[in-house]
Amino acid sequence: MASRAEQKAQARAARIEREQKVAEAASRRRRLVMLGGVVGVAAVVLIVAIVISSSGGGTTASNGPESATAKAAETRVSSLLAGIPEFGDNGLGKSTAPVTVTEYGDLECSVCDEFALSPSFQTAEGGPGTGYEDQLISQDVRTGQVKLIYKSLETASSGSPIANVFPAQQAAAYAAGLQGKGWYYIELFYNEQGREGTGYVTSAYLDNIAKQIPGLNYSKWLADRNEASLIAQVNSENSAGSALDAPAGGASTPTLVIAGPKGQADPIVGLPTSWNELESDIKSVE
């Protein structure tokens, strides 16, 4: 059985490999555009639109909250989170649960997307989800054994027309959290995530996610999302997460910190190698 250090190295290597594939795919698309001219551009745009439509991911601002893709995401997220309380700063589950799983994430991170989505759902990058977060929420958070806390760590946000897009998008989720709806925002974002580096996160995109959340006071959310205190919280968490990941060679998302009555397990940096690894760490600190 691989040691913890070997598992971390394997997880990091897997993330790097995925990011390289994304970069290579983007490079190929650029070459196609250059060689094909206007016709090539139209063909590539058509192909991307078909892929996004068939995958169920990557809802854009033009699709809007009433699109079929958005409605399907809303149904999945509502089913996952229905009846589970939220508390404090983006906590999900019973605040008195004995085990705490803290997830450091970037809402644009494609690996966080893999962690969050089910195997039956195709991510914006073209692969299936792992179902790990769904299992964590359904099996451990819903039963009151685990509380799940979300914190921010920048690893993937870029290319957006929004200045300082990372704190802005994370604060948008936190603004929903002020109404006890933060995890709805987080899960909807992952369910509707676009491809990394394509600049799909616009103000309209963030607005559309908020409009999908049942029971959210949109006017209050719109005012709260620019609160300086939320931006400061995002930046503070980003610094803490970067320091946490430093021994592993740099920031990686998701990073999971699992703590309970018996202490704290070594952080899982990147995707867990399996559901059993994540569940084993939870059991070890109960």
Residue 20: phi, psi to the nearest 5? -65, -40
28: exposed, middle or buried (C-beta count within 10 Å: 0-12, 13-18, 19+)?
exposed
Listed residue (250, 245, 286) closest to 267, CA to CA: 245
Give residue 22's pLDDT band: very low, low, confident or very high (50, 70, 90).
very low
Write down the mean pLDDT value for the chain.
Answer: 83
Q: How far apart are CA 228 and CA 241, in angstroms?
A: 20
Q: Are strands 91-92 and 146-152 parallel, antiparallel or unpaired?
A: antiparallel
Distances from the Cα of 154 to the Cαs of 3, 104, 165, 224, 276, in angstroms?
27, 9, 10, 21, 27
Over residues 175-192, mean pLDDT: 97
pLDDT exceeding 90 applies to what percent of the chain?
67
**Domains of the chain: which residue ranges?**
4-285
pTM of the model: 0.80
Q: How far apart are CA 90 and CA 237, in angstroms?
A: 12
Name the β-bridge partners of 87: 91
Q: Evaluate if residue 268 carries a pLDDT over 60.
A: yes
Token couple for 49? 């639109």
For residue 28, the model assigns a pLDDT of 41
CATH number of 4-285: 3.40.30.10
For residue 20, the model assigns a pLDDT of 53
For residue 44, the model assigns a pLDDT of 32
Over residues 192-219, mean pLDDT: 95
218: exposed, middle or buried (C-beta count within 10 Å: 0-12, 13-18, 19+)?
exposed
Q: How far apart are CA 175 and CA 182, in angstroms?
A: 7
229-251 confidence digits (pLDDT tens):
999 999 999 999 999 999 988 89
